[in-house]
Structure 1
Amino acid sequence: MTQDPRNAEDAPEAQDGPVYFWRETHPLTGYLSQWYACPFRDPGEPSKTYKTAEHYMMHQKALLFDDPATGLEILRAEHPRQAKSLGRRVRAFDQRRWDAERLRVVARGNYLKFAHPAVPGGVESLRLGTGWGPGGASSEAAGSPLVGAGGLRARLLATGGRELVEASPFDRVWGIGYREEHAEGVGREDWGENLLGRALMEVREIFRKEDEEERAGAEGEKQMQKKQKKKA
Protein backbone atom coordinates (compact mmCIF):
# COMPACT_ATOMS: atom_id res chain seq x y z
CA MET A 1 0.00 0.00 0.00
CA THR A 2 1.34 3.43 -0.92
CA GLN A 3 2.16 5.63 2.06
CA ASP A 4 0.42 8.99 2.10
CA PRO A 5 3.14 11.70 2.09
CA ARG A 6 0.77 14.07 3.83
CA ASN A 7 1.28 12.00 6.98
CA ALA A 8 5.07 12.17 6.77
CA GLU A 9 5.32 14.32 9.87
CA ASP A 10 3.23 11.97 12.03
CA ALA A 11 5.68 9.10 12.39
CA PRO A 12 8.32 9.32 9.67
CA GLU A 13 10.62 6.72 11.17
CA ALA A 14 7.74 4.26 11.49
CA GLN A 15 6.87 4.54 7.81
CA ASP A 16 9.02 3.14 5.08
CA GLY A 17 7.24 4.26 1.92
CA PRO A 18 8.56 7.10 -0.23
CA VAL A 19 7.72 10.72 0.48
CA TYR A 20 6.36 11.94 -2.84
CA PHE A 21 6.42 15.65 -3.59
CA TRP A 22 6.08 17.94 -6.57
CA ARG A 23 4.02 21.13 -6.32
CA GLU A 24 5.29 23.90 -4.06
CA THR A 25 1.66 24.52 -3.09
CA HIS A 26 1.20 21.14 -1.39
CA PRO A 27 0.34 21.92 2.27
CA LEU A 28 2.85 19.47 3.73
CA THR A 29 5.41 18.50 1.11
CA GLY A 30 5.63 21.73 -0.88
CA TYR A 31 8.71 22.78 1.09
CA LEU A 32 10.72 20.14 -0.80
CA SER A 33 10.04 21.80 -4.15
CA GLN A 34 12.66 23.89 -5.94
CA TRP A 35 9.97 26.54 -6.34
CA TYR A 36 9.08 26.80 -2.64
CA ALA A 37 9.42 30.42 -1.53
CA CYS A 38 12.14 30.47 1.09
CA PRO A 39 14.66 33.29 0.58
CA PHE A 40 18.15 32.27 1.65
CA ARG A 41 21.76 33.37 1.42
CA ASP A 42 25.16 31.80 0.97
CA PRO A 43 27.34 32.86 3.95
CA GLY A 44 30.22 33.12 1.49
CA GLU A 45 28.30 35.71 -0.56
CA PRO A 46 25.94 37.42 1.91
CA SER A 47 25.12 40.23 -0.51
CA LYS A 48 23.08 37.85 -2.68
CA THR A 49 19.61 36.63 -1.72
CA TYR A 50 18.05 33.71 -3.54
CA LYS A 51 14.26 33.75 -3.58
CA THR A 52 14.00 30.01 -4.20
CA ALA A 53 16.29 27.03 -4.75
CA GLU A 54 15.40 27.34 -8.45
CA HIS A 55 16.88 30.84 -8.48
CA TYR A 56 20.08 29.49 -6.95
CA MET A 57 20.32 26.65 -9.46
CA MET A 58 19.88 28.91 -12.47
CA HIS A 59 22.17 31.62 -11.11
CA GLN A 60 24.95 29.09 -10.55
CA LYS A 61 24.33 27.71 -14.02
CA ALA A 62 24.91 31.18 -15.47
CA LEU A 63 28.10 31.66 -13.46
CA LEU A 64 29.38 28.23 -14.47
CA PHE A 65 29.29 29.34 -18.10
CA ASP A 66 30.69 32.79 -17.39
CA ASP A 67 27.46 34.67 -18.07
CA PRO A 68 27.17 37.09 -15.12
CA ALA A 69 24.69 39.33 -16.96
CA THR A 70 22.12 36.55 -17.18
CA GLY A 71 23.00 35.57 -13.63
CA LEU A 72 22.04 39.05 -12.44
CA GLU A 73 18.74 38.87 -14.32
CA ILE A 74 18.02 35.55 -12.62
CA LEU A 75 18.60 37.05 -9.18
CA ARG A 76 16.19 39.87 -10.04
CA ALA A 77 13.50 37.52 -11.40
CA GLU A 78 10.37 37.67 -9.26
CA HIS A 79 9.12 34.15 -9.97
CA PRO A 80 11.04 30.86 -10.21
CA ARG A 81 9.41 30.27 -13.59
CA GLN A 82 11.17 33.40 -14.85
CA ALA A 83 14.44 32.23 -13.33
CA LYS A 84 14.08 28.89 -15.09
CA SER A 85 13.36 30.57 -18.41
CA LEU A 86 16.41 32.79 -18.06
CA GLY A 87 18.50 29.78 -17.17
CA ARG A 88 17.68 28.30 -20.56
CA ARG A 89 19.21 31.35 -22.23
CA VAL A 90 22.63 31.09 -20.60
CA ARG A 91 25.30 31.80 -23.20
CA ALA A 92 27.97 29.24 -24.13
CA PHE A 93 25.97 26.50 -22.41
CA ASP A 94 27.51 23.04 -22.61
CA GLN A 95 25.16 20.16 -21.71
CA ARG A 96 27.92 17.70 -20.89
CA ARG A 97 29.58 20.09 -18.47
CA TRP A 98 26.26 20.97 -16.86
CA ASP A 99 25.39 17.28 -16.46
CA ALA A 100 28.62 16.83 -14.53
CA GLU A 101 27.92 19.75 -12.18
CA ARG A 102 24.13 19.97 -11.80
CA LEU A 103 23.64 17.55 -8.90
CA ARG A 104 26.35 19.25 -6.85
CA VAL A 105 24.83 22.67 -7.58
CA VAL A 106 21.31 21.65 -6.59
CA ALA A 107 22.46 19.83 -3.46
CA ARG A 108 24.40 22.93 -2.39
CA GLY A 109 21.44 25.19 -3.10
CA ASN A 110 19.12 23.06 -1.02
CA TYR A 111 21.60 22.87 1.82
CA LEU A 112 21.66 26.67 1.91
CA LYS A 113 17.87 26.87 1.60
CA PHE A 114 17.36 24.73 4.70
CA ALA A 115 20.37 25.93 6.69
CA HIS A 116 20.59 29.67 5.97
CA PRO A 117 17.15 31.30 5.55
CA ALA A 118 17.40 35.02 4.85
CA VAL A 119 14.24 36.01 6.70
CA PRO A 120 15.24 38.01 9.80
CA GLY A 121 15.09 35.87 12.91
CA GLY A 122 14.85 32.65 10.95
CA VAL A 123 11.84 31.50 8.97
CA GLU A 124 9.08 32.46 11.37
CA SER A 125 7.22 34.38 8.69
CA LEU A 126 7.19 31.49 6.24
CA ARG A 127 4.24 29.15 6.12
CA LEU A 128 4.20 25.49 5.30
CA GLY A 129 3.17 24.60 1.79
CA THR A 130 2.81 28.10 0.44
CA GLY A 131 2.70 28.80 -3.21
CA TRP A 132 5.38 31.12 -4.49
CA GLY A 133 5.22 34.64 -3.11
CA PRO A 134 7.42 37.49 -1.94
CA GLY A 135 8.98 36.71 1.42
CA GLY A 136 7.77 33.14 1.27
CA ALA A 137 4.16 33.79 2.22
CA SER A 138 1.07 34.01 0.06
CA SER A 139 -2.64 34.49 0.48
CA GLU A 140 -3.09 30.85 -0.51
CA ALA A 141 -1.36 29.86 2.70
CA ALA A 142 -3.77 31.57 5.08
CA GLY A 143 -4.33 29.27 8.00
CA SER A 144 -1.30 27.08 7.26
CA PRO A 145 0.87 26.23 10.28
CA LEU A 146 3.81 28.55 10.80
CA VAL A 147 7.36 27.27 10.51
CA GLY A 148 9.59 28.31 13.40
CA ALA A 149 13.30 29.05 13.15
CA GLY A 150 14.97 26.00 11.69
CA GLY A 151 11.55 24.51 10.98
CA LEU A 152 12.22 23.52 7.39
CA ARG A 153 15.46 21.81 8.37
CA ALA A 154 13.62 19.95 11.11
CA ARG A 155 10.90 18.87 8.71
CA LEU A 156 13.45 17.49 6.29
CA LEU A 157 15.09 15.52 9.09
CA ALA A 158 11.66 14.31 10.23
CA THR A 159 11.33 12.32 7.01
CA GLY A 160 13.79 9.92 8.62
CA GLY A 161 15.29 7.49 6.18
CA ARG A 162 12.40 7.55 3.75
CA GLU A 163 13.09 7.95 0.07
CA LEU A 164 12.30 11.43 -1.25
CA VAL A 165 10.76 11.30 -4.70
CA GLU A 166 9.82 14.17 -6.98
CA ALA A 167 6.66 12.85 -8.60
CA SER A 168 6.60 15.22 -11.56
CA PRO A 169 4.94 13.73 -14.63
CA PHE A 170 6.83 16.20 -16.81
CA ASP A 171 10.41 15.67 -15.67
CA ARG A 172 12.36 12.44 -15.91
CA VAL A 173 15.67 14.02 -14.93
CA TRP A 174 14.95 15.85 -11.69
CA GLY A 175 11.82 13.79 -11.08
CA ILE A 176 10.57 10.32 -11.97
CA GLY A 177 8.22 11.24 -14.82
CA TYR A 178 5.10 10.03 -13.02
CA ARG A 179 2.55 11.49 -10.65
CA GLU A 180 2.40 9.97 -7.19
CA GLU A 181 -0.78 8.05 -7.95
CA HIS A 182 0.86 6.38 -10.95
CA ALA A 183 4.36 5.87 -9.55
CA GLU A 184 3.63 2.66 -7.68
CA GLY A 185 1.85 1.17 -10.65
CA VAL A 186 4.98 1.04 -12.79
CA GLY A 187 8.26 -0.69 -12.19
CA ARG A 188 11.08 1.40 -10.77
CA GLU A 189 13.09 0.59 -13.84
CA ASP A 190 10.66 2.90 -15.66
CA TRP A 191 11.19 5.79 -13.27
CA GLY A 192 13.27 8.79 -14.23
CA GLU A 193 16.49 9.78 -12.44
CA ASN A 194 14.90 11.66 -9.50
CA LEU A 195 17.94 13.91 -9.16
CA LEU A 196 16.12 16.40 -6.93
CA GLY A 197 15.08 13.66 -4.54
CA ARG A 198 18.65 12.39 -4.46
CA ALA A 199 19.99 15.90 -3.76
CA LEU A 200 17.54 16.37 -0.89
CA MET A 201 18.46 13.01 0.64
CA GLU A 202 22.12 14.00 0.42
CA VAL A 203 21.37 17.25 2.26
CA ARG A 204 19.34 15.37 4.87
CA GLU A 205 22.29 13.08 5.55
CA ILE A 206 24.61 16.07 5.96
CA PHE A 207 22.23 17.59 8.52
CA ARG A 208 22.00 14.29 10.36
CA LYS A 209 25.78 14.08 10.63
CA GLU A 210 25.99 17.70 11.75
CA ASP A 211 23.51 17.01 14.54
CA GLU A 212 25.37 13.87 15.60
CA GLU A 213 28.63 15.81 15.79
CA GLU A 214 26.96 18.57 17.77
CA ARG A 215 25.54 16.06 20.26
CA ALA A 216 28.91 14.36 20.58
CA GLY A 217 30.58 17.71 21.17
CA ALA A 218 28.03 18.67 23.82
CA GLU A 219 28.48 15.34 25.58
CA GLY A 220 32.26 15.75 25.50
CA GLU A 221 31.95 19.22 27.02
CA LYS A 222 29.67 17.86 29.73
CA GLN A 223 32.16 15.12 30.63
CA MET A 224 34.99 17.66 30.72
CA GLN A 225 33.05 19.87 33.11
CA LYS A 226 32.39 16.89 35.40
CA LYS A 227 36.10 16.07 35.52
CA GLN A 228 36.97 19.67 36.33
CA LYS A 229 34.44 19.72 39.17
CA LYS A 230 35.92 16.55 40.64
CA LYS A 231 39.42 18.05 40.54
CA ALA A 232 38.14 21.18 42.26
Structure 2
Amino acid sequence: MTIYFYKAEAAYGCFSNFSLHGIYLQGQYWPTVEHYYQAQKFVGTPDVAMTAVIQLAPTPMKAAALGRDRDRCIRSDWEQVKYPIMCQAVLTKFLCHPEIQGVLLATGEVELVENSPTDYYWGCGADRTGQNQLGNILMGVRQEIRERLLLGCQP
Protein backbone atom coordinates (compact mmCIF):
# COMPACT_ATOMS: atom_id res chain seq x y z
CA MET A 1 0.00 0.00 0.00
CA THR A 2 1.06 3.58 -0.63
CA ILE A 3 -0.13 6.83 0.91
CA TYR A 4 -0.16 9.72 -1.51
CA PHE A 5 -0.26 13.24 -0.07
CA TYR A 6 0.03 16.71 -1.54
CA LYS A 7 -2.37 19.46 -0.45
CA ALA A 8 -2.13 20.63 3.17
CA GLU A 9 -5.92 20.64 3.51
CA ALA A 10 -6.39 17.09 2.15
CA ALA A 11 -5.92 13.67 3.73
CA TYR A 12 -2.44 13.38 5.24
CA GLY A 13 -1.99 17.09 4.60
CA CYS A 14 0.20 17.35 7.67
CA PHE A 15 2.93 15.69 5.57
CA SER A 16 2.97 18.70 3.25
CA ASN A 17 5.56 21.43 3.78
CA PHE A 18 2.66 23.86 3.44
CA SER A 19 0.87 22.50 6.53
CA LEU A 20 0.49 25.11 9.24
CA HIS A 21 2.84 23.54 11.76
CA GLY A 22 5.45 26.07 12.78
CA ILE A 23 9.00 25.19 13.72
CA TYR A 24 11.87 26.79 15.65
CA LEU A 25 15.20 26.49 13.90
CA GLN A 26 18.36 28.55 14.19
CA GLY A 27 16.79 30.43 17.10
CA GLN A 28 13.88 31.68 15.01
CA TYR A 29 10.25 30.78 14.49
CA TRP A 30 9.14 29.75 10.99
CA PRO A 31 5.39 29.46 10.26
CA THR A 32 5.87 26.38 8.06
CA VAL A 33 8.62 24.12 6.78
CA GLU A 34 8.16 25.81 3.40
CA HIS A 35 8.96 29.23 4.89
CA TYR A 36 12.17 27.89 6.42
CA TYR A 37 13.25 25.93 3.36
CA GLN A 38 12.73 28.78 0.90
CA ALA A 39 14.51 31.29 3.15
CA GLN A 40 17.60 29.09 3.38
CA LYS A 41 18.24 29.63 -0.34
CA PHE A 42 19.46 33.15 0.43
CA VAL A 43 21.72 32.57 3.44
CA GLY A 44 25.15 34.05 2.76
CA THR A 45 24.14 35.72 -0.52
CA PRO A 46 23.76 39.36 -1.55
CA ASP A 47 20.00 38.72 -1.24
CA VAL A 48 20.21 37.57 2.40
CA ALA A 49 17.51 40.13 3.30
CA MET A 50 15.06 37.81 1.53
CA THR A 51 15.26 35.42 4.47
CA ALA A 52 13.35 37.87 6.68
CA VAL A 53 10.90 38.70 3.90
CA ILE A 54 10.13 35.02 3.40
CA GLN A 55 9.88 34.38 7.12
CA LEU A 56 7.15 37.03 7.33
CA ALA A 57 5.28 35.88 4.22
CA PRO A 58 1.56 35.57 5.02
CA THR A 59 1.21 32.09 3.51
CA PRO A 60 3.46 29.17 2.56
CA MET A 61 2.40 29.73 -1.06
CA LYS A 62 3.74 33.28 -0.90
CA ALA A 63 6.95 32.04 0.79
CA ALA A 64 7.42 29.54 -2.04
CA ALA A 65 6.87 32.20 -4.69
CA LEU A 66 9.42 34.50 -3.05
CA GLY A 67 11.96 31.70 -2.81
CA ARG A 68 11.51 30.80 -6.46
CA ASP A 69 12.13 34.34 -7.72
CA ARG A 70 14.65 33.83 -10.53
CA ASP A 71 15.79 37.46 -10.26
CA ARG A 72 17.37 36.72 -6.86
CA CYS A 73 20.79 35.28 -6.10
CA ILE A 74 20.59 31.94 -4.32
CA ARG A 75 23.49 30.33 -2.50
CA SER A 76 26.07 28.60 -4.67
CA ASP A 77 25.92 25.37 -2.65
CA TRP A 78 22.12 25.09 -2.79
CA GLU A 79 22.04 21.79 -4.68
CA GLN A 80 24.34 20.24 -2.05
CA VAL A 81 22.55 21.57 1.04
CA LYS A 82 18.87 21.55 0.11
CA TYR A 83 18.33 17.90 1.10
CA PRO A 84 19.90 18.12 4.58
CA ILE A 85 18.08 21.43 5.16
CA MET A 86 14.78 19.76 4.34
CA CYS A 87 15.62 16.76 6.53
CA GLN A 88 16.31 18.98 9.53
CA ALA A 89 13.14 21.01 9.02
CA VAL A 90 10.84 17.99 8.57
CA LEU A 91 12.31 16.17 11.57
CA THR A 92 11.89 19.29 13.70
CA LYS A 93 8.27 19.64 12.60
CA PHE A 94 7.36 16.10 13.61
CA LEU A 95 9.28 16.25 16.88
CA CYS A 96 7.53 19.48 17.90
CA HIS A 97 3.96 18.52 17.03
CA PRO A 98 2.84 15.31 18.80
CA GLU A 99 -0.54 15.29 17.04
CA ILE A 100 1.03 14.92 13.61
CA GLN A 101 3.83 12.72 14.91
CA GLY A 102 1.08 10.26 15.78
CA VAL A 103 -0.32 10.44 12.25
CA LEU A 104 3.14 9.73 10.82
CA LEU A 105 3.81 6.81 13.16
CA ALA A 106 0.38 5.34 12.45
CA THR A 107 1.37 4.86 8.80
CA GLY A 108 3.43 1.85 9.85
CA GLU A 109 5.66 0.68 7.02
CA VAL A 110 3.52 2.12 4.24
CA GLU A 111 5.32 4.00 1.47
CA LEU A 112 4.72 7.77 1.60
CA VAL A 113 4.67 9.66 -1.70
CA GLU A 114 4.34 13.37 -2.33
CA ASN A 115 1.88 13.34 -5.22
CA SER A 116 3.08 16.56 -6.82
CA PRO A 117 2.17 16.75 -10.49
CA THR A 118 5.03 19.17 -11.21
CA ASP A 119 7.88 18.26 -8.85
CA TYR A 120 10.06 15.37 -9.93
CA TYR A 121 12.63 15.86 -7.18
CA TRP A 122 10.62 16.26 -3.96
CA GLY A 123 7.55 14.52 -5.38
CA CYS A 124 6.63 11.81 -7.85
CA GLY A 125 5.68 14.11 -10.75
CA ALA A 126 2.73 13.77 -13.07
CA ASP A 127 3.75 10.34 -14.33
CA ARG A 128 4.94 9.09 -10.91
CA THR A 129 8.52 8.61 -12.06
CA GLY A 130 9.92 11.35 -9.80
CA GLN A 131 12.42 10.85 -6.99
CA ASN A 132 9.91 11.41 -4.13
CA GLN A 133 12.59 12.87 -1.88
CA LEU A 134 10.03 14.39 0.54
CA GLY A 135 8.36 11.01 0.93
CA ASN A 136 11.77 9.44 1.55
CA ILE A 137 12.55 12.03 4.20
CA LEU A 138 9.21 11.41 5.92
CA MET A 139 9.83 7.66 5.99
CA GLY A 140 13.28 8.31 7.47
CA VAL A 141 11.83 10.66 10.08
CA ARG A 142 9.21 8.03 10.94
CA GLN A 143 12.00 5.49 11.52
CA GLU A 144 14.12 7.91 13.55
CA ILE A 145 11.22 8.75 15.86
CA ARG A 146 10.47 5.04 16.32
CA GLU A 147 14.09 4.38 17.26
CA ARG A 148 14.10 7.24 19.76
CA LEU A 149 10.94 5.85 21.34
CA LEU A 150 12.46 2.35 21.55
CA LEU A 151 15.49 3.77 23.34
CA GLY A 152 13.20 5.46 25.84
CA CYS A 153 14.22 8.89 24.63
CA GLN A 154 11.86 11.74 24.16
CA PRO A 155 11.15 11.86 20.43
Shared fold (TM-score, shorter chain, > 0.5): yes
Amino acid at match of 1:23: K
Residue 53 of structure 2 corresponds to: 73
1:23 aligns with 2:3: no
Q: 1:162 aligns with which of 97, 110, 124?
A: 110
Gaps of 5+ in 2: none
1:91 aligns with 2:73: yes
**Which structure has the highest helix share of the two?**
1
Residue 214 of structure 1 aligns to a residue in which SS?
A: coil
Task: Write out aligned runs for 1:194-209 (5 A).
Answer: 194-209=132-147
How far did 1:196 drift? 0.8
Gaps of 5+ in 1: 1-16, 118-149, 184-190, 218-232
Cα distance between partner residues in 2 of 1:56 and 1:92: 14
User: What's the CA shift string for 1:99-124, capped at 9, x where partnerless?
Assistant: 2211111111111111125xxxxxxx
Amino acid at match of 1:22: Y
Residue 101 of structure 2 corresponds to: 153
Cα distance between partner residues in 1 of 2:133 and 2:102: 22
Residue identity (%): 30
Cα distance between partner residues in 2 of 1:110 and 1:92: 21
Cα distance between partner residues in 2 of 1:51 and 1:107: 17
User: What's the CA shift string for 1:176-211, capped at 9, x where partnerless?
Assistant: 113xxx75xxxxxxx111111111112111111111
Tell me the TM-score normalized by structure 2. 0.88
> Once superposed, which parts of structure 1, at least 4 consecutive aligned residues long, lie more than 2 Å away?
64-68
Q: 2:113·2:124 contact (CA, 8 Å) conserved in 1?
A: yes
Cα distance between partner residues in 2 of 1:165 and 1:156: 13
Residue 212 of structure 1 corresponds to: 150
Q: Rg bigger for which structure?
A: 1
Q: CA RMSD in A?
A: 2.0
Residue 40 of structure 1 corresponds to: 23
Residue 41 of structure 2 corresponds to: 61
Pair 1:159–1:92, CA change in 2 (3 A)? closer
How many residues were matched structurally? 152
Cα distance between partner residues in 2 of 1:49 and 1:36: 15
Amino acid at match of 2:6: W
Q: 1:113 aligns with which of 76, 88, 93?
A: 93
